Structure 1
Amino acid sequence: MKKTHDFHWQWLDDDSFAAWIFLTPAAILLGLFVIWPITYLFYLSFTAGSFTSTGTHWVGLKNYWRLLVNADFWQVLFNTIYFTLGSIIPSLVIPLGLAVLLNRSLAFRGVLRSAYFLPSIISLVAAGLGFRWLFQTTGPVNGLLSFLTIPPIPWLGDTFWAMPVLILFSIWKQIGFNMVVFLAGLQAISPSRYEAAELDGANSWQQFRHITIPGLKPTLIFATVTTAIFTLRSFEPVYIITGGGPLNATNLLVYYTYQEAFSQFDFGYAAAVASVLLVVTLLLVYLQLRTWGEE
């Protein structure tokens, strides 16, 4: 008995117990604002009804079956995949190239860095209104095309061109943030590695491939994951610029969830859509970490 008692007090005096004491407030907040909402979301996806006096009732997998047979959902899912893939790759390649250039001794490097980062701090709503004005039928973009004797394009009214406008907006918003992240990663690579490579006769491309890319691996993982999450949660651009149109061509899972929940008041079905979005996000992040992460 005495040994058990002594072991108990020994555990209380252990550093891990103090760590748990300090982690408890954060764990409580995490449970209240992350774990519980996700758990309730999954529960809600198996129900139907509303938050009125009638309440909700259990319907099992009915909402998920509706997803499988709903053509609009599959179109929205395809739109989301198209938008995500079209945004992620340029949002990584372009900032990486800019970071490599700015990392060198260029004139006005600080001014250029601030200019590229500026879109990241502009309000999504204000930026969306600006893009809608630029690409409207009588906007400056079509004015430039007319000056070049090119017929105007109905950017926001055409099912083919509307999505590239949203992708361009997403890339424009993400470039500055990723560039600063890559620039910080580049400055963490020791210059002696490049000097040794030059002595061995390595050209610029070989240095970039064998020194820069491996040295930026943790940064690339971070930038890829954050960019993927940013694109998958895009709501404001769709709401402000296209409204999901034309003909549902730019409707994304986040905006589709909003429509079903707060326009149709079909909260169970909206929760099922949000659950699918959560699974897609987790799967995409897992694949990225699996591809870029350590063995």
Structure 2
Amino acid sequence: MPTKSLNDTQRETLEAWLFLAPALLLLGVFVLYPIAYLVYLSFTTGSFTRAGVTGVGFRNYLRLLLDLDFWQVLGNTVYFTIATVIPSILIPLGLAVLLNRSVALRGLLRTAYFIPSITSLVAVGLGFRWLFQTDGPVNAVLAGLGIEAIPWLGSTVWAMPVLILLSTWKQIGFNLVVFLAGLQTIPVSRYEAAELDGAGGWQTFWHITLPGLRPTFIFALITTLIFTLRSFEQPYVMTGGGPLNSTNLLVFYIYNQAFSQFDFGYAAAVTTVLLAVTLVLVYVQLKISGENSGENS
């Protein structure tokens, strides 16, 4: 095979950069520049008035560490995230295993479960707010059972579970389809070998299905974590962050700081922290995916 000359190599490199240039330009303008400006803004007052932007160093981050409201919102977000992620992973996983055995109804049920994922979260939030209002259908059912009406969205105890229920219902369909796709990649021969060895259903699930779904499981876990961490529509539409700040989530808190308090510098600092957490999650996913690819090869 003839060796390419240096000029040929340089020409191919130049052509590659020319083809990549439009995508890199869009990436720089719409992704990299906003991120860089966000980080810069977090070290300033963030004012867009005539006074201009004034540098304040790490004052916004120090305020963040001392802000009790921020820590309450962070606690709300952690509670919301954990309570949403667990059922959003376990329920679709169980449903996917059951649907994988039902060839006749798999397509129909997969479509039915996936519909919430493509439905507007604002529309769904309005529907849930109507369902769980004090004189709504849910309390009407409870009244029929002789149970006293619950102020779902006006209670510091019950408001967050309603948001968690909505978010779980929204995410189940997406994760179900992901797990079903992952199950198709597990060789049938493994199940046949396990059956010949006398393995039961639980043993087959634990030793074949779960290890085979490891990359899929990590992908579903990371995407669900990101979905919950960026949740905004749920408190905005249903509770407004109340009652008593009990459903105020991190992105909604950032929105209020920026567009209600006009404290753009502090909002940028909180957003930078959220961005750092998200990047760590993405890095973990890529690292684990790379390890799985190395093991498979």
Secondary structure of the corresponding residue to residue 134 of structure 2 = coil
Q: TM-score, normalised by structure 1?
A: 0.92
Tell me if 1:145 matches 2:142: yes
Contact 2:114-2:177 within 8 A present in 1 as well: yes
Structure 2 unmatched ranges of 5 or more:
293-297
Contact 2:43-2:56 within 8 A present in 1 as well: yes
| Cross-structure match for 1:3 | none
Most deviating of 60-69 and 48-57? 48-57
Contact 1:48-1:58 within 8 A present in 2 as well: yes
Deviation at residue 153 of structure 1 after TM alignment: 1.3
The CA distance in 1 between the partners of 2:286 and 2:75, in whole Å, is: 23
**Alignment length (residue pairs):** 289
Report percent identity of matched pairs. Answer: 68
1:95-244, aligned counterparts within 5 Å?
95-105=92-102, 107-244=104-241
The CA distance in 2 between the partners of 1:79 and 1:173, in whole Å, is: 19
Contact 2:43-2:59 within 8 A present in 1 as well: yes
The CA distance in 1 between the partners of 2:163 and 2:282, in whole Å, is: 22
Contact 1:87-1:167 within 8 A present in 2 as well: yes
Note the alpha carbon deviations across 1:53-99, whole angstroms, 9 max, x for none: 22211111111111111110000111111111111111111001111
Match of 1:22 among 19, 22, 27: 19
Match of 1:93 among 90, 93, 109: 90
Deviation at residue 228 of structure 1 after TM alignment: 1.0
Secondary structure of the corresponding residue to residue 160 of structure 1 = coil
Tell me if 1:248 matches 2:266: no
The CA distance in 1 between the partners of 2:194 and 2:238, in whole Å, is: 48
The CA distance in 1 between the partners of 2:170 and 2:153, in whole Å, is: 19
Q: 1:293 to 1:140 in 2, by over 3 A?
A: farther
> Over aligned residues, Cα RMSD in angstroms?
1.9
Q: TM-score, normalised by structure 2?
A: 0.91
The CA distance in 2 between the partners of 1:92 and 1:21, in whole Å, is: 43
Tell me if 1:42 matches 2:39: yes
Contact 1:228-1:285 within 8 A present in 2 as well: no
Deviation at residue 294 of structure 1 after TM alignment: 2.2
Deviation at residue 205 of structure 1 after TM alignment: 1.1
| Cross-structure match for 2:7 | 9
Q: Which amino acid aligns with 1:65?
A: L
Deviation at residue 17 of structure 1 after TM alignment: 4.9
Q: Which amino acid aligns with 1:201?
A: G
Secondary structure of the corresponding residue to residue 234 of structure 1 = coil
The CA distance in 2 between the partners of 1:45 and 1:8, in whole Å, is: 46
